[in-house]
Amino acid sequence: MVEVGREKFLKRRHLIFAAIGSAIGLGNVWRFPYMCYNYGGAAFLVAYVIGLFAIGIPWLVTEFAMGHYFQKGAPEVFSNIGKKWEWVGWFPAVSAFLIDSYYCVIMAWTLIYMFSSMTLAWGVGPAGAEGAGPYFFEQVLQITDGPGVLGGMRWQIVLSLAFTWIVIYFVIRRGAEIIGKVSEVVMTLAWILIFAIIARSVTLIGAVDGLNYYLDIDWSVLKGPGVWFAAFSQIAFTMSLGMAGMYAYGRFIAKKGDITNNAIITGLADSGFAFLAGFAVFSTVGYIMQALGVPLQDVTISGIGLAFVTYPVGVSLMPALNTLTGVLFFLMFWIIGLSSAYFLAYGGFMVPLIDKFGWKREKVVFWGCLVCFLVGLLYCTGGGLYWLDIIDRTVAFYTLLLGGAIASLVVGWVFGADKLRKHVNATSDIKVGPWMDVLIKYVVPAGLLFVVIYGGFMQDLKKPYGGYGVWANFIWILIAVVLIVSFILQNMKSKIEIEKEGK
């Protein structure tokens, strides 16, 4: 068996599939289409493409290249730049752990819905349209009144979560070789499924009306900061950056493997999938509007509500093939979640632990999966959805973007953007010029800090996030905790070594 130090993806395409798999996730389906609709259709696409080439791809090149250069996961990359910077690599690793703990719970719901689609458990026809909301909140989640009331475990979710983690365990326990092969299969399946779902959706009556909303153009939005905030935050989220995992995947690229081209392919495939998903989402929304005679405002078109309430409504109203469409949609959802979840687990926090402490891969994978599963139990309670939302705001927004900005500054200014560029050019087909230095040193950190300050601090300080009252303060507490844990991890090994030397 290949030890982690020499672990590589067997073929170039395995890396590409794995990286695309990590990027394509729940966010492509429930975040991108909504943002496109909300921020001026094609105008959003303009801001998004600018963000993709000015921030997303350079940032991905940076993470790949740093992992490849040092042949290490994120924390060791930064400790090699300078011992005092190691926490900059732990910060995203801790975030990846926290994200994965709830991301897999969403996958667990998806699995439950795959089975409930077989019987249309929330109801058929107009009854299903009425029943989808209560089914999700009252039956599956059995939601409580707020984050202060946990209300006990929802065992169906626990079981489904356990299954999800067992699958993840078997995918990652032998490292990059198997991850690459599995990614090739599951991503191929995901693309087939999304095309099948689109074919079903666009043939529904009213689909065109929905699509008109999706792509309705309003250029004037480009003048305001909102669309830029939305586009840049979506780029960071969707490309799975700032989560430590891409350093690990970069490290698994063959010695003479390509970096720039792989990053561009990953960015474009991820965006393409999101754009296509919008056709499935908005055709279905158009159909619901037509079938129920309701305006768009009455239909939830983003986030958890889109996947677990609106889509089931669409499925129960469909004139034919509804159970099949439901099963395929939730299967697709679970699959795209899976390839992001094992990325967050293995590349995100396990490779950093293996690298830093020299622990055996089998052990880290086993305990890592188990502990992350146990932390996830919090979200399997009746109050779990509230906590999921609060933690999501903390890590998938604040720490992701802040961590990315800091990492980019350290790479650009301390390690040296020119050194990075030379390494990238030595390995890649597409050569980058000195403009890349400008992107890494200025554009990426400035773009990310703009999002954190404009879309985060300024909004949350004005009005605490999510209407959770005092519980919303957990966001700030958690950011501090992530930081403190990062410092502790940074300093742990030296203590262990000193103790060993002393003996």
Q: Which stretch binds ligand PFF (CB under 6 A): 160-168, 232-240, 299-307, 408-416?
A: 232-240
Chosen residue from 21, 27, 128, 147 binding ligand PFF by CB under 6 A: 27
Judged by CB under 6 A, how many residues of this single chain contact ligand PFF?
13
CB 28 to ligand PFF: min, Å: 6
217-231 exposure pattern, b = at least 16 Cβ within 10 A, e = fewer: eeeebbeeebbbbbb
400 near ligand PFF, rule: CB under 6 A? yes
227 near ligand PFF, rule: CB under 6 A? no
Q: For residues 139 and 131, give the distance between their C-alpha atoms in angstroms, rounded to a whole number.
A: 10
Residue 189: count of CB within 10 angstroms of its CB: 14
396 near ligand PFF, rule: CB under 6 A? yes
CB nearer ligand PFF, residue 396 or residue 407 = 396
Q: For residues 405 and 55, give the distance between their C-alpha atoms in angstroms, rounded to a whole number.
A: 11
189 is written with which tokens? 């399946």
CB nearer ligand PFF, residue 26 or residue 409 = 26
Chosen residue from 23, 263, 285, 406 binding ligand PFF by CB under 6 A: 23
CB 426 to ligand PFF: min, Å: 29
Q: For residues 22 and 339, give the distance between their C-alpha atoms in angstroms, rounded to a whole number.
A: 5
CB 139 to ligand PFF: min, Å: 25
Q: What are the phi and psi torsion angles at 144 (to 5°)?
A: -90, -170
Of 40, 104, 93, 56, nearest to 376 (Cα)?
Answer: 104
CB 99 to ligand PFF: min, Å: 5
447 near ligand PFF, rule: CB under 6 A? no
99 near ligand PFF, rule: CB under 6 A? yes
CB 174 to ligand PFF: min, Å: 22
Q: How far is CA 479 from CA 7, 140, 397, in A?
A: 33, 30, 11
458-488 exposure pattern, b = at least 16 Cβ within 10 A, e = fewer: eebeeebbbebeebbebbeebbeebbebbee
Of 351, 298, 322, 278, nearest to 8 (Cα)?
Answer: 351
CB nearer ligand PFF, residue 23 or residue 204 = 23
Q: Which stretch binds ligand PFF (CB under 6 A): 24-32, 210-218, 305-313, 481-489?
A: 24-32
CB nearer ligand PFF, residue 79 or residue 238 = 238
CB 224 to ligand PFF: min, Å: 25
Q: For residues 367 and 106, give the distance between their C-alpha atoms in angstroms, rounded to a whole number.
A: 21
314 near ligand PFF, rule: CB under 6 A? no
CB nearer ligand PFF, residue 79 or residue 266 = 266
CB nearer ligand PFF, residue 237 or residue 471 = 237
100 is written with which tokens? 């994965």
26 near ligand PFF, rule: CB under 6 A? yes
340 near ligand PFF, rule: CB under 6 A? yes
Q: Which stretch binds ligand PFF (CB under 6 A): 20-28, 33-41, 141-149, 379-387?
A: 20-28
Chosen residue from 110, 240, 260, 381 binding ligand PFF by CB under 6 A: 240
CB 482 to ligand PFF: min, Å: 13
Q: How far is CA 136 from CA 123, 238, 311, 312, 401, in A?
A: 12, 26, 12, 10, 31
CB-count burial class (<10 Å; 0-12, 13-18, 19+) for 36? buried
CB 393 to ligand PFF: min, Å: 11
Residue nearest to ligand PFF according to CB distances in the complex: 25
Q: Which stretch binds ligand PFF (CB under 6 A): 116-124, 234-242, 287-295, 422-430?
A: 234-242
Q: By the 8 A CB rule, do 16 and 262 touch?
A: yes
In this structure, is the dihedral angle defined by the CA atoms of residues 310, 106, 161 and 176, taken in order, positive or negative?
positive
Of 107, 104, 129, nearest to 332 (Cα)?
Answer: 107
Site for ligand PFF in 168-207 (CB under 6 A): none
394 near ligand PFF, rule: CB under 6 A? no
25 near ligand PFF, rule: CB under 6 A? yes
Rg of the chain, C-alpha, whole Å = 22
> Given the rule CB under 6 A, which residues bind ligand PFF?
23, 25-28, 99, 237-238, 240, 243, 340, 396, 400
